[in-house]
Amino acid sequence: MNPNVDDYIQTHAKWQKELTLLRKIVLESKLTEDWKWRAPCYTLDGKNVVMLAAFKNDCVLSFFKGPLLTDPDNILVAPGENSRTFRVVRFTDARQITKLKSKLKFLIEQAIEVQRSGKQIEAKKGPDEFPAELQAKLEEDPKLKQAFEGLTPGRQRAYVMHFAAAKQSKTRTARIEKFTPRILDGKGMNDCVCGLTKKPPGCDGSHNKK
């Protein structure tokens, strides 16, 4: 068990009981408990399978390859209109988790088998394909998600293309962290924020010179 997850659950006191129950269910599957994107993540041979997250209005169990799972009870939902990989189950009460325990375990076991099989979700080609790191970050941070969805489609595409262009996950994560303040400010990658000290790369502030 990862001590960071203990801290995470204690920090989110509102959902402490629910997160504890979900954690127990996931750990019964023998997945490895890890800590990624500042949230509990559960892996198989180093590959992401499911993760937990707590938000203002609910907590969720997220499946990285959700669309590949069989969901006869329709409890999986897409976390956003741009979600092509993630599927989540949302909870607002511990009793919901207890009631769905067997169904959650069924989904988790499926997710493990999907990961073992090497199956991949067919990516939609195009500049709006969200990298998993960005989707996870938006799930983790509701304010960032709201800010990102408030950007124009062109600004969203520019960010997604920049993040997805990195070959390594750690580089994609670093790029997302770097530009998070700009997204929260409602700025696109190339929007100039010229001032005495704040200028994005490539901006010389010439448009402010009259």
Q: Tell whether 91 and 156 lie within a shared domain.
A: no
Give the confidence band of 192 by pLDDT, cuts at 50, 70, 90. low
Asked if 87 contacts 76 with a C-beta cutoff of 8 angstroms, the reply is yes
CA distance 81 to 24: 30
Q: Tell whether 10 and 70 lie within a shared domain.
A: yes
For the residues 24-43, what does the mean pLDDT come to? 93
CA distance 28 to 8: 19
Give the pTM. 0.64
Of 117, 140, 169, which one is at a domain's C-terminal end?
Answer: 117
CA distance 44 to 48: 7
Q: Does residue 32 sit within a domain?
A: yes
Q: Tell whether 7 and 107 lie within a shared domain.
A: yes
Domain residues for the domain of 158 are 123-203
Q: Tell whether 22 and 100 lie within a shared domain.
A: yes
**Is the pLDDT reported for residue 112 higher than 90?**
yes
The pLDDT score that the predictor gives to residue 128 is: 53
Of 86, 117, 148, which one is at a domain's C-terminal end?
Answer: 117
Give the confidence band of 210 by pLDDT, cuts at 50, 70, 90. very low
Say how many C-beta atoms besides its own lie within 10 A of residue 48's C-beta. 22
CA distance 129 to 161: 8
CA distance 52 to 29: 15
Q: Who wins on pLDDT, 140 or 62?
A: 62
**Is the pLDDT reported for residue 193 higher than 60?**
no
Which ranges constitute the DSSP H helices of 28-131?
Answer: 94-99, 101-117
Total number of domains constituting the chain: 2
The pLDDT score that the predictor gives to residue 124 is: 54
**Is the pLDDT reported for residue 203 higher than 80?**
no
For the chain, what is the mean pLDDT?
85
Q: Tell whether 169 and 88 lie within a shared domain.
A: no
**Is the pLDDT reported for residue 108 higher than 50?**
yes
For the residues 21-29, what does the mean pLDDT come to? 96
Q: Does residue 63 sit within a domain?
A: yes
Of 117, 152, 173, which one is at a domain's C-terminal end?
Answer: 117
**Is the pLDDT reported for residue 141 higher than 50?**
yes
Residue 27, domain CATH: 3.90.1150
DSSP state, 196? S
Task: For the chain, give the percent of residues with pLDDT over 70.
Answer: 86
The pLDDT score that the predictor gives to residue 132 is: 86
pLDDT digits (tens, 9 = 90+) for 63-106: 999 999 999 999 999 876 666 778 999 999 999 999 999 999 99
Helical (H) or strand (E) element with 142: helix 142-149
Buried-exposed string 75-100: b where 16+ CB fall within 10 A, e elsewhere: bbeebbebbbbbbbbbbeebebbeeb
